[in-house]
Structures are given as C-alpha cells and as structure tokens.
Amino acid sequence: MKIKKLILLGILLSTFGTVSAKTKVIAHRGFWNTEGSAQNSIAALTKANEIKVYGSEFDVWLSSDGVPVINHNATTDDHHLLIEKTPIAELKKEKLANGEYLPTLEEYLLKGKQCKNIKLIVELKPHSSKEREDSLTAIVLDMVKKLKLKKKVEYISFSLNTVKEIIRLDPKAKVSYLTADLPPKELKKIGCIGLDYNLNAMIKNENWFSEAKKIGIKINVWTVNKEEDMHYLIKKGADFITTNEPQLAKELTNNK
C-alpha cells in the first residue's frame, strides 16, 4: 500500500512540476521594437529590463585591435565597416538607428549590471579564424569575471568551436548551441546546458523536445514572432522563447 502511495505521489509531483514550469521570454537583440530603441543598443537593453523578461540577447564581435563590440552583422549598419578589419577608434564613430554610438562590450555589461530584472544572453559570433574566435572567447569570459557577472551571464554561439572553448575555460558557464545540427544527447556530452535552435528545426525534429526534457537539456527556440508559434512552443514545453515581440510573448506565457 505504501509503495502505491509513493508511486502516486511521484506521478502527482511530476505532473505539477510540468505545469508550473512556465516558458520564459528572451528579447532578441534587446527590446528594440519600441520607440527610442534600436537593435543591440543600450536602450534596447534597458527597455528589456523595464518589461522584466527573463533575458536580453546581444551579439559580440572583435575589432581588428582586439576590442569586443556589440553588433549583429559582420559589418556596421552606419558605414558598413567590416568589424573584424576595423580598429575600435573607427568603430566608436558608428551610429545606431536610434542615434546611439556603437557600444563596446564593456559599456554594455556595465549597463547590464545595473539591470536587476534580466539575464544577459551573450552571443559570440563566428569569426574568420579559430584564433580570433578563441581570442574573443577569452576576452569576453575574462571581462565577465572581472565585472563579477558570471551568475548573470549566459552564452550562446553558432560556432561549435566557441561553445567548446567557453566550456573549457569555464566548465560552470551556462552555454547553449545555436546551429541546430546536433541532437540533445550530443549537446549533453559536450557540456551544454541547452539547445537554442530555430523554430523550423524544432518543428522538423519534434522528438528533440522530449529527448531534451528527458536528459535535462534546456530548450530555447528563435526567432519566434507569431502568436500561433508562441502557443505551439508553450504547449511543447519550451523553456525559453527568443523573440522580437517580447511584450506579446510575455503576455502569452503569463496567461498559461
């Protein structure tokens, strides 16, 4: 009789645990889709903090003289400078769509340290060589450590080399892989805490939802902007949704 009660209790705890695990929202390149903001701007970071989503994602490149800066593309939007081939003195003259100057990683992290409501989701971009990727990784992790932000920062990258290098330098770092060419069990072996795959890849490989859950791999899906897609991922039990519409996503996840 006691065994039956214990089994029933286990089932109940499992059920309630699944129900209470609410999908969280990450603002893609910050909360930029609002007045006065721009992608990867300081304003986008602070506005993401204001609406209290789980995290604000941003992209990091290394200048030609070894300074990490925040930008999505390999080139700047202002004068289309190739970041890897341009020194920081020139990059700092580049303006964003909202009038801000292109921020350095240090500036971004210092502002992020003041943002008490969010995690900082740092995407290290694939670079032109393994050496430059490794250099960027070392600089970023050292800066995060010096600013005492290790508990606030999580890492993502399309580069498997970068993912492995982050884990080598800091085995306790929270790292997720973006490329969607590895199943959850392979990510577990590498030391990733999660997968961070595009929506189409997850729809094509729906079994990855259950596989990831089974082995404790977190599920983050990008870039999810349609309400019906958000509903689908909430139903599938995604841990995170990365979106350009963080307010909508937060509203939907709060109603579940």
Q: What is the pLDDT of residue 3?
A: 54
Give the mean model confidence (pLDDT) for residues 246-253.
Answer: 98
Q: What is the largest CA-CA distance in the chain?
A: 75
For the chain, percent of residues with pLDDT exceeding 70: 92
Q: What is the pLDDT of residue 200?
A: 99
User: What domain count does the chain have?
Assistant: 1
Domain membership flag for residue 148: yes
Sorted by sequence, the CB contacts under 8 Å of residue 5 that are 6+ apart come out as: none
What are the structure tokens assigned to 51, written together?
């609406």
The CATH number covering residue 186 comes to: 3.20.20.190
Q: What is the pLDDT of residue 80?
A: 98
What are the structure tokens assigned to 46, written together?
């602070």
Domain membership flag for residue 214: yes
Q: What is the pLDDT of residues 136-161, one digit of tens each?
A: 999 999 999 999 999 999 999 999 99
**What is the extent of the structural domain holding 61?**
22-254
Residue 59 belongs to what H/E stretch?
A: strand 55-62
Asked whether the beta carbons of 33 and 43 are under 8 A apart, the reply is: no
Model confidence at 12, pLDDT cuts 50, 70, 90, reads very low
What are the structure tokens assigned to 203, written together?
């729809």
Domain membership flag for residue 32: yes
Domain membership flag for residue 56: yes
Domain membership flag for residue 8: no
Indicate whether this model's pTM tops 0.85: yes
Give 31's DSSP letter: S
Q: How far is CA 70 from the centre of its chain?
A: 14
43, HSE (Cβ side, Cα atoms, 13 Å): 15
Asked whether the beta carbons of 62 and 53 are under 8 A apart, the reply is: no
What are the structure tokens assigned to 137, written together?
């990784």
Domain membership flag for residue 1: no
- SS3 state at 29: coil
Q: What is the pLDDT of residue 21?
A: 80
